[in-house]
């Protein structure tokens, strides 16, 4: 949901910070690694029930995630290696956050509720995978109500409320995130399915016409009308011979 004009404006806003960090000798990979360490600390804070600290850390975790790209552009080092590392570390950060939530819920009166963060992680991973796979096939799969930025914001707000009103607010937040993430996964699946179906329908149409704009019936008719000259001559000679024999009787 934040992809597009909002993301573009935010990236412009952090460009000066990226230049400052690059001049200070900070590499984009180091910024990405800091984000993972902050996510790990946030996971520990959630697991131990320190929700206010966790809320601060989860919001701060998004800062390195936004700055690594700015530093890479400032250093003219943006490329597939950095994009791959960033994507892998994003999944790792998500796993650390949800693992912390699962650890905390496993120690409550309803330990089975620990499956909720696990299910949320599966749904979130599916959302990310669908976009990656779709783009590798040449399709577009952006959009949805609960992308990664929205998950960070929702989790941060839920942790902040839980620190004041109790852990039940965290459970409700996780349920809301899970529902909206599943909706996003279904939305992306349908979006890519429509694109892929259109491509397949076009390929089938080309296969039926053979690429020459003719269907099978028209092609057979054209073959019948394009008989070899030698075959026509042979048939003509056979008819002439039959007439000669009838006249000779």
137-180 pLDDT, tens digit each: 999 988 888 998 899 999 999 999 999 999 999 999 999 999 99
Domain range spanning residue 239? 214-248
Whether residue 128 sits in one domain with residue 49? yes
- Count of structural domains within the chain: 2
**Is 218 a residue whose pLDDT tops 70?**
no
Residue 4: pLDDT band (50, 70, 90) is: low
- The pLDDT tens digits of the residues spanning 55-87 come to 999 988 888 887 887 888 887 777 888 888 888
Whether residue 198 sits in one domain with residue 103? yes
Residue that wins the pLDDT comparison between 153 and 223:
153
**Three-state secondary structure of the chain:** CCCCHHHHHHHHHHHHHHHHHHHCCCCHHHHHHHHHHHHHHHHHHHHCCCHHHHHHHHHHHHHHHHHHHHHHHHCCCCCHHHHHHHHHHHHHHHHHHHHHHHHHHHCCCCHHHHHHHHHHHHHHHHHHHHHHHHHHCCCCCCCCCCCHHHHHHHHHHHHHHHHHHCCHHHHHHHHHHHHHHHHHHHHHHHHHHHHHHHHHHHHHHHHHHCCCCCCHHHHHHHHHHCCCHHHHHHHHHHHHHHHHHHHHC
What CATH number does residue 99 fall under? 1.20.120.1760
Mean pLDDT of 111-134: 94
Q: CB-based burial of residue 15 (10 Å sphere; 0-12 exposed, 13-18 middle, 19+ buried)?
A: middle
Residue 189: pLDDT band (50, 70, 90) is: very high
Q: How far does Cα 4 stand from its chain's mean position?
A: 15
Residue that wins the pLDDT comparison between 80 and 181:
181
- The pLDDT tens digits of the residues spanning 6-36 come to 666 666 777 888 888 888 888 888 888 999 9
Residue 224: pLDDT band (50, 70, 90) is: low
Whether residue 229 sits in one domain with residue 144? no
Residue that wins the pLDDT comparison between 18 and 130:
130
pLDDT for 64: 84
Tell me the pLDDT of the chain averaged across its residues.
84
Residue 65 annotated among the catalytic residues of the structure: no
Whether residue 117 sits in one domain with residue 78? yes
Whether residue 178 sits in one domain with residue 110? yes
Residue 95: pLDDT band (50, 70, 90) is: very high
Whether residue 230 sits in one domain with residue 157? no
Q: Closest Cα to residue 156, out of 168, 143, 144, 174?
A: 174
Whether residue 237 sits in one domain with residue 148? no
pLDDT for 211: 54
Residue 139 tokens read as 């399709």
**Is 210 a residue whose pLDDT tops 60?**
no
CA end-to-end distance (rounded Å), the chain: 93
Whether residue 61 sits in one domain with residue 118? yes
Whether residue 182 sits in one domain with residue 233? no
pLDDT for 192: 95
**Is 47 a residue whose pLDDT tops 80?**
yes
pLDDT for 149: 86
Whether residue 171 sits in one domain with residue 80? yes
Whether residue 236 sits in one domain with residue 175? no
Whether residue 64 sits in one domain with residue 22? yes
pLDDT for 117: 96
Q: Which of 90, 94, 109, 215 is catalytic?
A: 90
């Amino acid at each position: 949901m934040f992809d597009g004009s909002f993301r573009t404006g935010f990236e412009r806003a952090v460009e000066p910070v990226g230049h400052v960090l690059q001049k200070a000798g900070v590499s984009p990979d180091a910024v990405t690694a800091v984000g993972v360490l902050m996510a790990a600390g946030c996971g520990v804070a959630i697991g131990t029930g320190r929700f206010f600290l966790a809320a601060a850390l989860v919001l701060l975790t998004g800062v390195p995630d936004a700055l690594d790209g700015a530093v890479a552009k400032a250093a003219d080092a943006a490329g597939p290696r950095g994009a791959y590392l960033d994507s892998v570390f994003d999944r790792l950060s998500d796993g650390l956050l949800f693992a912390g939530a699962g650890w905390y819920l496993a120690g409550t009166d309803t330990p089975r509720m620990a499956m909720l963060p696990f299910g949320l992680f599966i749904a979130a991973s599916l959302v990310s995978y669908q976009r990656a796979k779709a783009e590798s096939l040449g399709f577009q799969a952006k959009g949805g109500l609960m992308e990664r930025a929205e998950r960070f914001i929702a989790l941060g707000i839920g942790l902040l409320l839980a620190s004041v009103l109790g852990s039940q607010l965290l459970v409700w937040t996780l349920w809301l995130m899970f529902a909206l993430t599943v909706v996003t996964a279904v939305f992306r699946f349908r979006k890519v399915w429509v694109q892929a179906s259109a491509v397949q329908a076009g390929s089938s149409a080309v296969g039926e016409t053979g690429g020459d704009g003719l269907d099978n019936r028209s092609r057979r008719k054209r073959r019948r009308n394009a008989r070899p000259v030698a075959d026509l001559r042979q048939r003509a000679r056979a008819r002439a011979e039959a007439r000669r024999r009838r006249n000779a009787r």
